[in-house]
Structure 1
């Protein structure tokens, strides 16, 4: 199956519709699922990487997972703050064996694969060798609760734009696919900006694309919202070296967890990065149920398109509290 769409919601509509037509007769370790084996997805506009629906509008958890990667760590404590379900994927209650951060930036303890890709494409933009390996042969030697679903990330420049191809051995359509597309297209744009070029299309190739039966009703609920394709997209990343800004946000994130907002030292960042920092602050305030403070931080956000994600989460939190 080949799916070509311009937004994440267009993709999810197509994927859920097709998977719900199939029997839930594939039974791996995590329960019965429907499955499409061999699927290629193309997102024509990688900045349209966020769902704007009530069911799948997961800006906060997606952002948390992205900075987990960028922090070069596989610590469980970090990611469970944003996605509590990761607790089930830890072998030792301290780390996630298949965590992408060390594999991206410290593979085998010292290989920065992201930096290698950038250097390869600076020297030879048309190269076919700019590949990051996440799945490793040694991942099959011992049993682990979590090994990478992503096998490789490939980057190349065509017509002056950075194109990306992600290869997946397995992809949970409901829980994993939206987060993967968000994180990898953000990485695509970070690398494009590092090279001083625009982003091109994003391609996502999957061996087993599946929907677990336990998520069937949620997928049906998503489709029942009747979302129409929109022009919603994240703004362009600033045309400047992104790594200093990212490091400042990574440092600020540690303080944000402790509600030490005044110590984050991110006021001099470009508004693009300031907004992402504000979203991380709001995630902490949501966990603390400090809704008045949320409104104060919300006023700091430059791009009002993020307001819908904030309002939606506040509404959901308050609804849960009433019940």
Structure 2
């Protein structure tokens, strides 16, 4: 069996997938009116899952949403309050206007069982602590009941996550029934690799490789032009181009209490009950890694609640450099000149 192609960064894998699907698609898929070019059965591997971020002029990303979605998952949440705030489009996924069921992957992984038993994530980690070479640490997402409601957009694209501890490293394999290579894949890989890194920290293991398998890999026809610009930009940079910024490393001391603290203060910022300076956040007993995540939410709070003003330069300069670069390109009219990344 041939292993999937390996990339040192997600940006390289992303460009390669877009290049392949746009140039060599096998089908034109018209499911639910969303025309797309499709490849059946696509895979790639990241040798360093921390290199999950995109730094592309042709594809500005939202670093605030990346962390918001990852924390929504890790928090085991279903409600729209958090995720709908950072991406209003997610409200269309809700059946009742208050929760999301199918694509709330975190609720299926991190929430306790209905009988009060441990979550799938906790059970997977406990298995790996007891049997270090286990092949059974698989966390299923897609269920038979997800096939019951034909036509509803809120079905899990994620089939499951598989953790494998080998030689002191934690590897993860992701299985997806479908992935929009230009849109959803960017956020999915970010969240899933962050979950992998958190699991490695909790297990005291080094971060291993990340493998992404997809049944239907596709690019929407409406996105073909932008996908072409991404391919052009990455081709011009060269296949061996180094990332613009070093990847932030989740500290080995990260605990569930840190995650809970971040979620508590994210809600306070989201609901505009507080406003924080870097000094304020430094006093919250969080590692610098998580302080910078909270400062992203503070920057977003200012975007939403102070629409006539530029975002506080002191807050922006305190961000992780790669996230600051992304923020400034996503909202160029809301930033002033400041520190050079």
Q: Normalising by structure 1, what TM-score? A: 0.91
1:72–1:106: 8 Å Cα contact kept in structure 2?
yes
Q: How many residues align?
A: 317
- Distance in 1, Cα, partners of 2:106 & 2:325: 29
Pairing 1:61–2:65 present: yes
Q: In the alignment, which residue of structure 2 is the partner of 1:106?
A: 111
Q: What are structure 2's unaligned runs of at least 5 residues?
A: 336-341
Give 1:290 shift.
5.9
1:171–1:208: 8 Å Cα contact kept in structure 2?
yes
Q: 2:36 aligns with which of 25, 33, 36?
A: 33
Sort the Cα spacing of 1:310 and 1:291 in 2 relative to 1 into closer, same or farther, 3 A: farther
Sort the Cα spacing of 1:191 and 1:310 in 2 relative to 1 into closer, same or farther, 3 A: same
1:3–1:14: 8 Å Cα contact kept in structure 2?
no
Give 1:142 shift.
2.8
Q: In the alignment, which residue of structure 2 is the partner of 1:251?
A: 264
Q: In the alignment, which residue of structure 1 is the partner of 2:317?
A: 299
Q: What per-residue deviation string (whole Å, max 9, x for no partner) do you get for residues 97-118 of structure 1? A: 2111211122653441111111
- Distance in 1, Cα, partners of 2:37 & 2:149: 28
Give 1:2 shift.
3.4
- Distance in 1, Cα, partners of 2:45 & 2:11: 13
2:171–2:208: 8 Å Cα contact kept in structure 1?
yes
Q: In the alignment, which residue of structure 1 is the partner of 2:93?
A: 89
After TM superposition, the structure 1 stretch with the greater mean CA deviation from structure 2, 151-160 or 256-265, is 256-265
- Distance in 1, Cα, partners of 2:323 & 2:227: 24
Sort the Cα spacing of 1:31 and 1:285 in 2 relative to 1 into closer, same or farther, 3 A: same
What does 1:201-220 correspond to in 2, within 5 Å? 201-220=209-228
Q: Normalising by structure 2, what TM-score? A: 0.86
What does 1:74-153 correspond to in 2, within 5 Å? 74-98=78-102, 99-106=104-111, 108-109=113-114, 110=116, 111-143=118-150, 144-153=152-161
Q: 1:238 aligns with which of 251, 273, 285?
A: 251
- Distance in 1, Cα, partners of 2:333 & 2:48: 29
Q: In the alignment, which residue of structure 1 is the partner of 2:290?
A: 273
1:249–1:266: 8 Å Cα contact kept in structure 2?
no
CA RMSD of aligned residues (A): 2.2
Give 1:239 shift.
1.2
